[in-house]
Amino acid sequence: MSSTAADPWRPSALADEVVTAYLRRLGLDPMAERAERPSVAQLHRLHAAHVERVPYETVWIALGERRELDPVAAAGYLVAGRGGYCYQLNGAFSALLTTLGYPVTWHRAGVQGQPGDSVGDSGNHLALTTVLDGQGWWLDTGLGDGPLDPVPLVAGAFGPDDRFRLRPSDSVPGGWRFDHEPGGSFAGMDFSTAATGPTSDLRDKHVELSTSPTSGMVRVVTAQRRTPTGVQGIRGLVLSERPVAGSATVRQLSGYAEWRAVLREVFHLPLDDVPEERLRQVWQRIEADHAAWERDRRS
């Protein structure tokens, strides 16, 4: 599948019942949102609600689930009370926005984990843009601790205390670079302005990230979300909370029951559709991985 600037690939619209359930998952009034014409105010409302209420999470990978690179299927996961990583979160969001009348474009992107890591649009991330009244906007509900709100495609600092920055990419000709805030979970992200779709190379990257033993998504079970007051995250059995201003707090979860409660109450991830035995197996793996990490740290 390919796309061109003249005829970019667009996600399919969602069925009415899926849109209704999706908007309810975001804590929004389905009738009011569907009646409203696309606007900057609505775009901000939808984006912020998505980032707050639908977590970036890799529990599904630890459960051994497999997912396709399909935005309609991704919306089904979210409606069922699940989260996902960038391909599902941004994929589903693109389908929701398309259904509500927004012209959404997919872009090949690449997250740079640490400052010394390679940069460029490697395909390990999916970015979105839309255009309203002649103004382009970068949208991203799939970064975990990325921006809460959509970002105008204008170079400069933005976000709380101007802690983020958007600028022309040094590695992607004509593309954009997002420089994360100090203390963020990754260094930055580059994305191309060329339109793309669920191409074979993105599918291959999705399979690699969700199945390879060397993938960070496979190795560490995580959940993360941004709120207006800061960022909350779990890595393994460690819960962290980083406010917009002030110092982060980090603590170890006491056991399986607290892990489940935190996923449900903090990250809006009830996992009621998963057999208890499978979830306990994931927790046992998390405990074993943490114990191995502690041994390595002491040696």
Return the closest-CA partner of residue 96 out of 12, 7, 31: 12
- Distance in angstroms (rounded) separating the CA atoms of residues 293 and 23: 40
Task: Say how many CA atoms lie within 13 Å of 4 toward its Cβ.
Answer: 2
pLDDT computed for residue 6 by the predictor = 53
Digit-coded pLDDT (tens) for 97-128 = 999 999 999 999 999 999 999 999 999 999 99
Return the closest-CA partner of residue 140 out of 39, 54, 61, 81: 54
The confidence band for 299, taking pLDDT boundaries of 50, 70 and 90, is confident
If DSSP states are collapsed to H, E and C, what string results for 144-210?
Answer: CCCCCCCEECCCEEECHHHCEEEEECCCCCCCEEEECCCCCCCCEEEECCCCECCCHHHHHHHHHHH
Digit-coded pLDDT (tens) for 213-259 = 999 999 999 999 999 999 999 999 999 999 988 889 999 999 999 99
Digit-coded pLDDT (tens) for 1-45 = 334 445 679 999 999 999 999 999 999 999 999 999 999 999 999
* Average pLDDT along the chain: 95
- The position carrying tokens 């979970």 is 185
**Could you tell me which residues come within 8 angstroms of residue 148 by beta carbon, excluding any fewer than 6 positions away?**
47, 48, 51, 52, 159, 226, 227, 228
- Distance in angstroms (rounded) separating the CA atoms of residues 117 and 198: 25
- Distance in angstroms (rounded) separating the CA atoms of residues 110 and 5: 20
Longest dimension (CA), the chain: 61
**112 sits in which H/E element:** strand 104-112
User: Could you give the percent of the chain with pLDDT greater than 70?
Assistant: 98
Predicted TM-score of the model (pTM) = 0.95
pLDDT computed for residue 5 by the predictor = 46
User: For residue 97, what are the CA distances in angstroms to 4, 127, 196, 251, 256?
Assistant: 20, 14, 17, 37, 37
> Which amino acid is it at 240?
S
8 Å CB contact between 79 and 18: yes
Q: Is the pLDDT of residue 179 over 50?
A: yes
Full DSSP string of 240-276: EEEESSS--EEEE--SHHHHHHHHHHTT----TTS-H
